[in-house]
Amino acid sequence: MAPSPRDPVELTAYANFTLRPPAPFDFDSTTSKPSTLPDPTNHHEPGVHWQTIRWDGRLLGIRMDDNGSRDDPKIGVTVFASGSPPRHVLESLDYELRWRYDLDTDLSWYCRHFADDPTLAGPLERIGGMRVSCAFSLYEWVSVLALLQMATAGRISRMVNSVFDAYGTRLRFDGRELQAFWQPRDIVAAGEGELRAMKLGYRAKSLVRIAESVLDGGFDEDALRAMDRAEARRALLTLYGIGPASVGNLLFMTLHHYDSFDVVPPWDAKLYAHLLYDTDTAPAEQIVADMTDRYGRWRALAGDYLLEDLFLRHQREPIDWLAAEIRM
């Protein structure tokens, strides 16, 4: 049986620092991605983002405030902990947030160069300065990707929430209650049978194998960040459950290789067909070739702009064809 939820951990001590990404910068579309399914580790409101993080052996809550503008960016960060966080933790967390939200990258040339592109002009006007971002660690995102495989959005949401309810840690801070990601040792201790009983199917084995790989030292995220794309791709493909589609996602989302646009999953291909050709379907090979021809080394980032802008527009005013594709 999975463990019952414990009382939330109260995080009442806090410290502050400021992040200053290069202009242009769009806070909301960087910190919140409507194209991805919601999860219990974060909450977003315009201009404010809350999230949890396991860092340096600590459970932390993060509040990020948009204290600047697109042309003069400034992010106020408040770190909540059970005790006063030491300076070295804040310094390393400063770097980690800058990495996970890609805050050191200068997108000014990209935004200027493609401002008149027929397909990107609208997204750049609305969310120019958006960064690729992934609030999860590499292990955490690989685990989430394992749960995303071959399931409808509704089932994925139920599986993700069930694993968090069983093995995550509830944190209470700044008037919010969110979940911190589970630890690999808890997944290994639970075992495949317990996870299958939660209706995860074959994904139970994947979660256990991924967690075992972490405990065996198989996830050296710092080393991967220092590799070029080809080297990182080879290393990622050695991880359990990582195939061509997943490795492309990891190279882009967690390692920020903006040219990682080699495989287009079937569902994404439907969205790109509408956006690029105004049709219901298009061959993935054609999409890759056309995105490469149009956007070169920026092709993965351009694709991200197209999809995030699409879902943002859908949030504001439902798009019929997209609503038909989304099955909760």
CA distance 47 to 191: 41
Query: What residues form DSSP beta bridges with 76?
Result: 18, 65
> Closest by alpha carbon to 61, among 102, 21, 95, 10?
10
Count of residues for the chain? 328
258 falls within a domain: no
Q: Domain of residue 188: give its range.
A: 138-225
DSSP string of 54-105, one letter each residue: EETTEEEEEEEEE-S-SSS--EEEEEEESSPPPHHHHHHHHHHHHHHTTTT-
CA distance 88 to 315: 40
Say whether both 121 and 142 belong to one domain. Answer: no
- Tell me the two tokens of residue 132: 């690729």
Rg (Cα) of the chain, in Å, rounded? 20
Say whether both 42 and 109 belong to one domain. Answer: yes
- DSSP assignment letter at 264: -
Say whether both 45 and 154 belong to one domain. Answer: no
CATH number at residue 24: 3.30.310.20
CA distance 120 to 289: 17
Say whether both 51 and 112 belong to one domain. Answer: yes
285 falls within a domain: yes
pLDDT value, residue 209: 94
CA distance 135 to 129: 18
pLDDT value, residue 328: 45
> Closest by alpha carbon to 183, among 55, 269, 66, 63?
55
CA distance 266 to 254: 22
* Number of structural domains the chain divides into: 3
Cis amide leading into 85 (omega within 30)? no
Residue type, 300: A
Say whether both 97 and 192 belong to one domain. Answer: no
185 falls within a domain: yes
Question: Which of 225, 240, 255 lies at the terminal end of a domain, its last residue?
Answer: 225
Sequential pLDDT tens for the chain (328 residues): 443 457 899 999 999 999 999 999 999 999 999 988 889 999 999 999 999 999 999 999 999 999 999 999 999 999 999 999 999 999 999 999 999 999 999 999 999 999 999 999 999 999 999 999 999 999 999 999 888 876 677 778 888 889 999 999 999 999 999 999 999 999 999 999 999 999 888 889 999 999 999 998 878 899 999 999 999 999 999 888 888 888 999 999 999 999 999 999 888 999 999 999 999 999 999 999 999 999 999 999 999 999 999 999 999 999 999 988 876 4
Spatial contact of 60 and 169, defined as CB atoms under 8 Å apart: no
Spatial contact of 186 and 202, defined as CB atoms under 8 Å apart: no
- Tell me the two tokens of residue 238: 């050695």
